[in-house]
Structure 1
Amino acid sequence: MAYYNKLVRDKIPELLELAGKKGTFRILGDKEFESELKKKLIEGVKEFRDARRSIDAVEELAGLYEMLIELSKLHQLSIREMEEIRKEKVKKHGGYKERLFLVKVED
């Protein structure tokens, strides 16, 4: 028996059953769900960072996007609203198109 104690995707119970295994699950409330999503987000960022193949990196990015969608829902924020906030932030501070790397600032 293996213990995981982590947030999993919705089809995991079905996939376990198809593999002849039985999992024990519980439903999380909003606060715990947000906390577990944040942990999952950090895990996903590390997996993206460590991806060696482009296809793996793309799959990790898609997973990160899914988590951001769920986190935005918890904050009653639509994808459209998040995009508007993103654009406003780009307007104020710019994006990353120039690939600028700050080395130092002198007083």
Structure 2
Amino acid sequence: MPVYNKLVRDLIPQIIEAGGNTCSIRVLKQGEHIEEIKAKMQEEALEFLEAASPKEAIEELADILELVHTAIQMYDVSYEQLEQIRTEKQRQRGGFSKGIYLIEVGAEAELI
């Protein structure tokens, strides 16, 4: 039996059992859960990086967004509050839509 030791979507155990297989699971405590969300976010970001098609990339972005929704629930923050923070950061520092790639900054400046 393969060992995964990773956070999976809530219905995965039922899907595995519906396929005629067995699995063992445990429910994570809150501190463990947020750490596993962070690890899963890295995994999904890497899969987004490696996506070979726009469809695959969008699938990975959907997984990342699901993890964001779960994380903000755990931090007791609404999506609207998160969006307000995002909007304020965008107003103060801009977004990422222009594709600006910083090469170098003189020693006297600290922007980042």
- Fold match by TM threshold 0.5: yes
Report the Cα distance in structure 2 between the residues aligned to 1:73 and 1:89, rounded to whole angstroms: 21
Q: Aligned runs of 1:15-26 on 2, under 5 Å?
A: 15-26=15-26
Is 1:3–2:3 an aligned residue pair? yes
Task: Tell me which residue corresponds to 2:56.
Answer: 56
Task: Tell me which residue corresponds to 1:37.
Answer: 37
Segments of structure 1 that go 5 or more residues without pairing to the other structure are none
* One-letter amino acid of the structure 2 residue matched with residue 91 of structure 1: R
- Segments of 4+ moved more than 3 angstroms: none
1:97 to partner: Cα distance = 2.3
Instruction: Count residues with an aligned counterpart.
Output: 107
Segments of structure 2 that go 5 or more residues without pairing to the other structure are none
Report the Cα distance in structure 2 between the residues aligned to 1:102 and 1:8, rounded to whole angstroms: 36
Report the Cα distance in structure 2 between the residues aligned to 1:96 and 1:16, rounded to whole angstroms: 39
> In structure 2, the residue corresponding to 1:25 is in which secondary structure?
coil
RMSD (CA atoms) = 0.9
Q: What is the TM-score normalised by the length of structure 1?
A: 0.95
* One-letter amino acid of the structure 2 residue matched with residue 20 of structure 1: G
Report the Cα distance in structure 2 between the residues aligned to 1:73 and 1:24, rounded to whole angstroms: 26
Task: Tell me which residue corresponds to 2:103.
Answer: 103
Q: What is the TM-score normalised by the length of structure 2?
A: 0.91
Q: How many percent of aligned residue pairs carry the same amino acid? A: 36
Task: Tell me which residue corresponds to 2:74.
Answer: 74
